[in-house]
Amino acid sequence: MRHTRTITALFAFFLIAGCSTVKNANNKQKGAVIGASGGAVIGGVIGNNVGKGNSVLGAIIGGVVGGVAGGYIGDRMDRQAERIEEEVPGAEVTRVGEGINVTFTEDAGVYFETNRDEVKGTSAETLGRLAGIFQEYPKTVILIEGHTDSAGSEEYNLALSKRRAESVANYLIAQGVDASRFTVKWYGESQPRADNSTPEGKAQNRRVELGIMASEALKEEARKETGN
């Protein structure tokens, strides 16, 4: 059985310190904010992301509100995390501060064939389930990170990881999730989860990861409701 994991406030404090390079990312390290209308194709993403060391975790920690308002947001994230864990086979859900980090198991998640960026099969089913949950919680924003294995050149893999992240975003948009909620980042082969010297490890590295965070609307709601 899978369990939602929560990183405590004390641990989060150390993560904030460790992720300062993410919070203060330069132009090359910034992902592209998707602001097109619902259903739009994200082919022309603005900017590029070649930073090594950024992560979904750092983005979540860098956007915390804190205080009572942060607790209000965290409560809503708890509910969304539980829904993902219940409804999405293969999702590994980690509650981090005021957000959610979602990674996937290879056999039932969102992965890609070698040198490919199409969403199909199990990946399509997984994303379809996620899309339904995202629509239930419209006041969250979603970070999508694309990754590759080490086959091919770094330049090629960076472009491939970009296409993979955009492909996932486009698929979710096609399922009815508002395009303005997405941010896309891509890292090529620079952030492997497993050993690239084995076929099994490479398969795990051909992936996307997701971060779910409070939108400005949810942050404002939290401040009004809590007086924080």
pLDDT tens per residue across span 149-198: 999 999 999 999 999 999 999 999 999 999 999 999 999 999 998 999 99
pTM, rounded to two decimals = 0.76
| CATH 2.60.40.420 is held by the domain 5-15+28-226 | no
- Give the pairing of strands 5-7 and 91-96: parallel
Q: Which residue has the tokens 């409701």?
A: 225
Q: Is the confidence at residue 115, as pLDDT, over 90?
A: no
Pick the range with the lowest mean pLDDT from 23-32, 50-59, 78-87, 96-105.
Answer: 23-32
Q: What angle do CA 85, 205, 182 make, to 5 degrees?
A: 55
Domain boundaries, the chain: 5-15+28-226
Tokens standing for residue 55 = 């992560």
Helical segments of the chain, H only? 9-18, 20-23, 56-62, 67-87, 122-136, 154-174, 199-205, 216-226
